Structure 1
Amino acid sequence: MARRGDGGGRAGPVMASGHRARDILDALAVAHGPQPLVRFHAAVLAAQMEIEAMARPPSLHHASARGRLAHGVPLLSERFVEAVRSVPQFRQLAGRICLLLAGCRPDLGTAVSAGLDAADEAVRACVLTHTGRAFLRPLGYALAPLVEEDHWRLAECPVCGGVPDLAALGEHGDRHLLCGRCDTTWCAPRFGCPFCRDDDPRDMLYHPVGDGPYRLYVCGRCRRYLKTIDLRQRPGACLPVERILTTGLDAAALAAGVGTESGARWPA
């Protein structure tokens, strides 16, 4: 049964933090999840690592970063983020991920094996999200330390402006959000919908998932949901890996009509 949003104070880190494909892959290797799912994401991460090795993050002085964040402006402009798609390696990686997806999901058939141009909207969004993450993740890793908590308390990613597709609750009631585009993690207000910005806690419903550390928060206004993990029950969890392991929650939520799709997707 859905419950109203629970309470809690906030206490969080001073800085945001990023992730690297190698670290995520190492954490995934010891995770317990469906093997076809784990193998697919392990292969995607291995392909993404090749892109990360070539990444050259833009130079940004701390004072400049502080000024942008103080005005509610992410460190990377949306124009910069969209320009990533014009890089030749972007299309090459997208093609590789299409083939990996076809191998993992033979039921998709030619909807994915024929390549990105022939794929339907849902498949294109999936492939573009995985591809874009390879280019944006290393930028998030490099730029996240410039983000001071006092200068950014918004629900959008302070690095790329993306929206989260996973949240984590800390031991002091703080909430950390994981960007669906660049894998940056930052501290945000405990209450509020990161999609429509409704900040009335009475509008937030949450659905516990058994006795485990997971729950689904659903906005009563826009009906989008946010997967959430309670780190008090799973300390030290790698959030990008938890995103992978909770893929079944997305399917169950959509099938049950709990809410519409969550997460930051690249335009198809």
Structure 2
Amino acid sequence: MVTTLIVGSSLVVLIAVGVLIQTMDDRERENRQREAALNARASSFDYMLNGFPPGLVHPRLKGLVCHCLIDVSSQLNKIAPQNQNYRDNLATAQQQLTEFSGKTGKFVGISLSNKAQIKEVQKMFSSLHNFVAKLTASQRIKAEEANLYRKLIQRLLLQTTLDELIDPIAEALNQGNIALAIHYLQASKGKMEQENEHGFYNDRISRHKRQIEELMQQNPLLGPAARSNPDKTDQIRPRLSNTDDSWKKKSYDDQQ
């Protein structure tokens, strides 16, 4: 009887130990997966800060990205406090935030000509646009700040779309295809007119109008034809309502 009780107690202990070990393994695996996901996000944020030419991304947007990077780096430090790289990355992000916060004055963006780089900007900052919505919903940023960030992101995405039209316009002119050049110029002008809040694009719209008028005066018969062409540039405009949702699907499960 005593032997049976001892054996039974031993089995209970072994089962309890087994469950404990399994639970610890599960938690360790979850931490590894979470750490890997956070590292991927940190890499994306770091690339937004340092991977594009100077003058492309507005300092206020860089400040937002710094906040995101600080948040991710802080979580990585909690997961692996002994990791010196995580501590260094957090310190660097905090220093960059101070630098970007101190920048004032008028911001004049630059244009991109590298198509692959344009696609990277559109993908990453469309994802950031979605992430701003998450921050707003969780009340981590104020609605006024969110509106500003969204406008800056939309302006950057529009700029990359306009950049994509530069080469087609030049190529059409070089080939003597005036109708196609007018078509692309009108498409570019139309996109700016749609987003011309506070007259931000007034000067560029005026330049486009003058160029279109000059081309039509040189080729008066092409004016109506150019206006009647379907918009062939739809496939390259940024679609904020249909952006890559991978950021959201892999989003911060740690935003509690």
- Please say whether Structure 1 and Structure 2 have the same fold, judged by a TM-score greater than 0.5: no
Relative to the length of structure 2, the TM-score reads 0.26
